Amino acid sequence: MTGAPQIPGYTFLQHLGTGGFADVFLYEQQWPQQRVAVKVVRADVALTAREKSLFTAEANAMATLADHPYIVSVITAGTTGDARPYLVMRYCPPPDLGVRVRQAPMSVADAVSTGIKLASAVETAHRAGIVHRDIKPSNVLVTSYHEPALTDFGIAGHLADVGGDEEVRISYPWAPPELLDARSNGSVASDVYSLGATIWNLLTGRSPFAILHGDNSPRALSTRILHTPAPPTGRPDTPAALEALLAQCLAKVPEHRPSSALDLARSLQRIEQQAGYARTPVAVEGDRPAAAAGRAVAPGGDTDATYVKPVTVIPASGPRAARIESDSRAAVDPGRGSRGAVVWGVLGVLVVAAVVAVLALRGGGEEDPAPALDPGTRTPAPLEAGSPQLPPDVTGQRQGARVTFTWRAPDEPLAGDTWEWRRTDSGDGNRTTGRRLTLRSPERLCVQVRLIRGADASPFTERCVD
């Protein structure tokens, strides 16, 4: 973590998380007085022209969707005294939805209602011509009013352009088959798949193809996602209609899924009506043209980590193997806008996901499933005292080919605390009581670490050493 910058009009309170590009801090805005999440580009990160183009697209996406009730809103942006771009966003108290449901999965009624709200947000993005491409529980924050808020449009793309992307970031547990085997770079159908996987997770506390205490590495998950039928949730209180709808969302063939996020939302509303649940309205602006939402994308060529997968433009009939990069920064061609647009685009770097709660890139395998279901749980679930809500502080140092990582809890350590670490390049990892790890690698090395306390686990923190 680099130091919190002094920003006029804001008072630093605490560090919230660290990711590949930026730190997230909690500040008190002096006027009007409110707590805000401030995401600041790390001092040790040099932004390339291609990364600036990616951030420009993200900033534009967030600006387009900022008014939606279920999308994290941006307050303002600026540059620190040492020329680091930052973004000020609505503060959503940690933890994110993924952490919450690992501890206590939702009731069916809450999961269906949350699914409708998220589908509303995704449909709104699609109508604006934007595909999210990284929908997952850890990219859903929870507001102070107990509402879900979709975040991390850092790898979003425009429907007409994503087919030409040279790289695609992938969160393996939530990625559809066509992204894994390079038949697509992202589409309406791929977002519907990830949204369905997220709703499945709300009911179970794990991703659809994760195996309890099994091999949940990216390679193993990819094999199951590509070749294994979608499993049922296994909850006896899940209506048959909901199980069938989730299976449809997780279909291997994109054309077999609901045709749009709105179609999914309407199906969830029918399930609400049949089950006698309170009706959840669909929050979609009705006067935007929907032409872009139906436009097909040309085929292209924790544990929640978002990896970079190089893309080769190939026919859909010739899938290729994915290569996992240790550097999770995606790259696209520089934008063609004015210099001013690029400068403000850099500010968009800060709009990546875990904004408030935890900006921790998680990688490798999927986290172990949550404890026993509590059908009566409401959203957000109350957290047990002492549950780790923030990611650990992790540092790294290189001496030749030896790289040493150390970490500590963000709060007071407790007896019985253990740690899980894993490499992002190979997925190798282990669970330990120690707080130091030495690995050998002449190349850039990234490790993710989380605190395990009892039956609960913190979000991962990723630290890279060049």
Mean pLDDT, to the nearest integer, of 438-455? 86
Fold of domain 97-336: Transferase(Phosphotransferase); domain 1 (1.10.510)
For 393-465, CATH number out of 3.20.20.70, 2.60.40.10, 2.60.120.260, 3.30.1330.40 equals 2.60.40.10
Mean pLDDT, to the nearest integer, of 406-417? 87
Taking 60 as the threshold, does the pLDDT of residue 256 lie above it? Answer: yes
**Range scoring the smallest mean pLDDT among 50-54, 81-85, 302-306, 432-436:** 302-306
Report the pLDDT value the prediction gives residue 62, as an integer from 0 to 100.
72
Dig out the tokens for 310 from the structure: 């190089």
Instruction: Show me where the domains of the chain are located.
Output: 10-90, 97-336, 393-465
**Range scoring the smallest mean pLDDT among 186-195, 251-260, 353-362:** 353-362
Report the pLDDT value the prediction gives residue 385, as an integer from 0 to 100.
55
For domain 10-90, the question of CATH label 3.30.200.20 is answered with yes
Report the pLDDT value the prediction gives residue 276, as an integer from 0 to 100.
94
Q: Do domains 10-90 and 393-465 have the same CATH topology?
A: no
Which tens digit of pLDDT belongs to each residue from 292-308? Answer: 444 444 344 355 655 54
Mean pLDDT, to the nearest integer, of 262-272? 96
Report the pLDDT value the prediction gives residue 105, as an integer from 0 to 100.
96
Which tens digit of pLDDT belongs to each residue from 113-156? Answer: 999 999 999 999 999 888 888 899 999 999 988 999 998 775 44
Which tens digit of pLDDT belongs to each residue from 329-346? Answer: 333 333 333 334 433 343
Mean pLDDT, to the nearest integer, of 272-290? 79
Taking 70 as the threshold, does the pLDDT of residue 220 lie above it? Answer: yes
> How much of the chain, in percent, has pLDDT values that exceed 70?
70
Taking 70 as the threshold, does the pLDDT of residue 20 lie above it? Answer: no
Report the pLDDT value the prediction gives residue 49, as an integer from 0 to 100.
66
3-state secondary structure 144-197: CCCCEEECCCCCCEECCCHHHCCEEEECHHHCCHHHHCCCCCCCHHHHHHHHHH
Average pLDDT across the chain, whole number = 76
Mean pLDDT, to the nearest integer, of 49-67? 68
